[in-house]
Amino acid sequence: QVQLVQSGAEVKKPGASVKVSCKASGYTFTSYYMHWVRQAPGQGLEWMGIINPSGGSTSYAQKLQGRVTMTRDTSTSTVYMELSSLRSEDTAVYYCARMYSSSRGNAFDIWGQGTMVTVSS
Amino acid sequence: DIQLTQSPSFLSASVGDRVTITCRASQGISSYLAWYQQKPGKAPKLLIYAASTLQSGVPSRFSGSGSGTEFTLTISSLQPEDFATYYCQQLNSYPIFTFGPGTKVDIK
C-alpha cells in the first residue's frame, strides 16, 4: 500500500543539526511532489517546504531559509529534511506529506507518521 | 502571503449534532482549499480538497463548500470518532501552502 515511513525520534542540543528521512513505497516516487510540515507541541501545522523528487528542485518557507535543506535519493525513494542551527523553538513533530495533484486542485493525501525532534541542552 | 483564519477555534458539541466550521482567506483563493482532521498523536488526514471534493474513503457526513475567501466544513451528524482538530489549508499560492490555526471539536 501507499505509505511514507519516517525515521525515529531525535534529541539534539541547541546549535546542532538534525536530518529526518521519509521513505516512500507503493507508488512511483518521482511522480509526486513531497512537502515537509512541522507541529510544535500543542500548536498548529506549519508548512516548511517542498521538494520535487524527480529533479530535486526545492522551495522553502521564508522563516527557515538558510537553515533548512531538503534532498532526495531516487535509488531508495527517500526524501530528507535537514535543519541546522537548532533552537528550542524547533522542538516539534516533523511530517513529510505527499502532494496529490488533479485538475481540480492539490492536497496532501498521504502523510508520514511523524518524527519528534526535541532540542534541549 | 495568504493568511487563513478559522472560526470557531473551539467547539463543544454532542453526538448527532450538525457542526459547521468556517475558514476565511485574506485574499481570494478560488477553490484551492483542503480540509484535514487530526487526532492526538496522529498525522493529519485529508478529508476534502478543491473546497468540496470528498477524499476517497471519507464518510459522506463530511462536506465542504465555498470559493474565493470564505469556506465551510460541515459534519451533518457528529459521530464519536469525529472529535478531533480540523485544519483548513490553502493551495492557491504555489508552493507556499499555509494552514489555518485549527478548530478543536470536543465532546459536550
pLDDT in tens, A65-93: 999 999 999 999 999 999 999 999 999 99
Tell me which chain A residues have a C-beta less than 8 angstroms from the C-beta of B45. 111
pLDDT in tens, B7-22: 999 999 999 999 999 9
Task: Tell me how many degrees the CA angle A102-A104-A107 measures, rounded to the nearest 5.
Answer: 65
Tell me which chain B residues have a C-beta less than 8 angstroms from the C-beta of A109. 46, 49, 55
What is the reported pLDDT for B94? 83
| Distance in angstroms (rounded) separating the CA atoms of residues A51 and B4 | 23
Instruction: Report CB contact under 8 Å: B99, A109.
Output: no
pLDDT in tens, B43-77: 999 999 999 999 999 999 999 999 999 999 999 99
Q: Which residues of chain A have pLDDT under 70?
A: none
Phi-psi region of B52 (alpha: psi -120 to 50; beta: other; left: phi over 0): alpha
What is the reported pLDDT for B1? 86
Which has the closest alpha carbon to A110: A53, A12, A26? Answer: A26
